[in-house]
Amino acid sequence: MNSLLRLLSDGRFHSGEELGLALGVSRSAVWKYLQRLESDCGLELFKVPGKGYRLAEPLSLLKYEDSFAVLARFGWRLYLRETTDSTNAEALRLLQSGVPAPFVVMAEGQTAGRGRRGREWASPPAQNIYYTLALKVLNGLQGLSGLSLVVGLAVLSALRRSGVEGVGLKWPNDVYADGRKIAGILVELNGDPADACHVIIGIGVNVNMRPSSLSIGQPWTTVREQTGGLASRADLAHFLSESLHHYLDRHSREGFSSLREEWEASNIWYGRDCVLSTGAQQIKGVMNGIDEQGALRLWIEGRGEQCFSGGELSLRLDHDS
């Protein structure tokens, strides 16, 4: 299927005979593959007698050789999948099978993409970035302090290099552009966090996704919408790898406190009335920023400032204020 996508990705017409020869299959097999592209991948195809088939618009596909070369500079292996359930799940399977970290898993599409707190992550094929970095953390809790916020800075930097303006960070794991979500981060641990463990850093970036067939329960945007043209997923993946290496290396050497000021400079909800969800409890307060470990500082009427951290916390604006 990936080979067919690459042939059609230029957005030009290709005859069934041409596609069959390139793929080494019959024209009837080509027709079946094309039907799968429409039904399984949600891609729109134009079929014109005498001309052949073309996608409604060009695609930007990932490039294994280029991504491999970028990651090799950092000593990171690359596993590029056509489709997987989720890149985080695939990274965990690779770790469990004995593949040593660090390595990166990327995919053209996901069948069961997920965000924080078990939420579904929209993952249409060949439209977004689905990226997971698996690392071994040797310095325990110190190496994990503020980690998801550091990854947010890396994503922010990569988006800016791709031409996206007006991007900012929402505590603890989201990147926004023009007041709407453009990227999310899911950090998962494998092993004992007080000792040596593996951390699985999942990143999803909305790149060229179209809104027509998608139902997403919050305002969102894409690199394409923000820049006004088809974005290169391959270039963005390269920028992301370079930014991750830079920020994670600095975090490892200097700790999160060295990056706190930079994170605060892009904190889009500073001073806003917010609601913090901690499981069944809802806490209202004013977002006062973050502390030296990346914990949320929330000013609560009658209680003063309190700090919160943890994987199951969720912050949203208080629209009743």
Q: Is 114 annotated as a binding residue?
A: yes
Q: Which of 87, 92, 88, 22 is nearest to 53 (CA)?
A: 22
Report how far residue 317's alpha carbon sits from residue 312's, in angstroms, rounded to the nearest whole number: 17
For strand 167-170 and strand 174-177, is the pairing parallel, antiparallel, or unpaired? antiparallel
Q: Is 297 annotated as a binding residue?
A: no
Q: Is 54 annotated as a binding residue?
A: no
- Among candidate residues 63, 181, 224, 233, the one labeled active-site is 181
CA atoms 174, 177, 179, 183: torsion sign: negative
Q: Is 32 annotated as a binding residue?
A: no
Q: Say whether 116 is catalytic.
A: yes
The domains located in the chain, with CATH, are 2-55 (1.10.10.10), 64-264 (3.30.930.10), 269-317 (2.30.30.100)
pLDDT for res 161: 97
Q: Is 222 annotated as a binding residue?
A: no
pLDDT for res 125: 81
The whole-number mean pLDDT for each consecutive block of 10 residues of the chain, a chain of 321 residues, reads 78 88 88 80 81 84 91 96 93 96 94 71 84 88 85 98 96 94 93 83 93 70 95 96 97 93 97 90 95 95 91 83 52
Residue 138's Cβ-count burial label (10 Å; 0-12, 13-18, 19+) is: exposed
Q: Is 218 annotated as a binding residue?
A: no
pLDDT for res 132: 98
pLDDT for res 27: 86
Sheet holding 281-290, edge to edge: 304-308, 296-300, 281-290, 273-278, 313-317
Q: What tokens appear for 202 in the block? A: 């999942």
Distances (CA, A) of 47 to 44, 50, 59, 291: 10, 9, 17, 57
User: Is residue 182 within 8 Å of 221, Cβ to Cβ?
Assistant: yes
Residues 6+ apart with CB under 8 A from 100: 136
- Among candidate residues 12, 73, 119, 316, the one labeled active-site is 316
- Among candidate residues 116, 224, 233, 260, the one labeled active-site is 116
